[in-house]
Amino acid sequence: MNTTRFLGASLLTASLLAMGGCTVMREQSTVGQAVDDTAITTQVKARFAESPAVSALAINVETLHGTVQLSGFAKSESERSAAESIARKVPNVKAVKNDIVVRP
């Protein structure tokens, strides 16, 4: 009888922990928000790859709750500005945090 209760309690605990993992992403994002953020990041990176003004390999892109963070290195201030401008034009971007460092 005690073994049955222990197994039942263990299964209940495991189920609750597994269900909690469904919505736990960075800073308690929902799965839908995480998908949206991933789509934004992908679109920004794709536009960087298409642009001759930006080195897509030298600039990192991360998105959280629609805010895009750019980091890495640019060869000039114009490349840094172009990267920010490209990111701002992607649909559903709420803000852009430009942490790109200019390093000639």
- 29-102 domain in CATH 3.30.1340.30? yes
For residue 85, the Cα-to-chain-centroid distance in whole angstroms is 18
Give CA–CA dist 68/87, Å, rounded: 7
The predicted structure's pLDDT at residue 31? 84
Laid out side by side, the sheet with 95-102 consists of: 59-64, 67-74, 95-102
Question: Rounded to two decimals, what is the model's pTM?
Answer: 0.71
Banded model confidence at residue 53, pLDDT cuts 50, 70, 90: very high
Report domain extents, the chain: 29-102
pLDDT tens digit sequence for 56-81: 999 999 999 999 999 999 999 999 99
68, 87 contact by CB (below 8 A)? yes
Banded model confidence at residue 9, pLDDT cuts 50, 70, 90: very low
| Average confidence score pLDDT of the chain | 82
69, 41 contact by CB (below 8 A)? no
Tally of residues, the chain = 104
Query: Residues 82, 86, 89, 93: what is their CA dihedral angle, to the nearest 10 degrees?
Result: -110
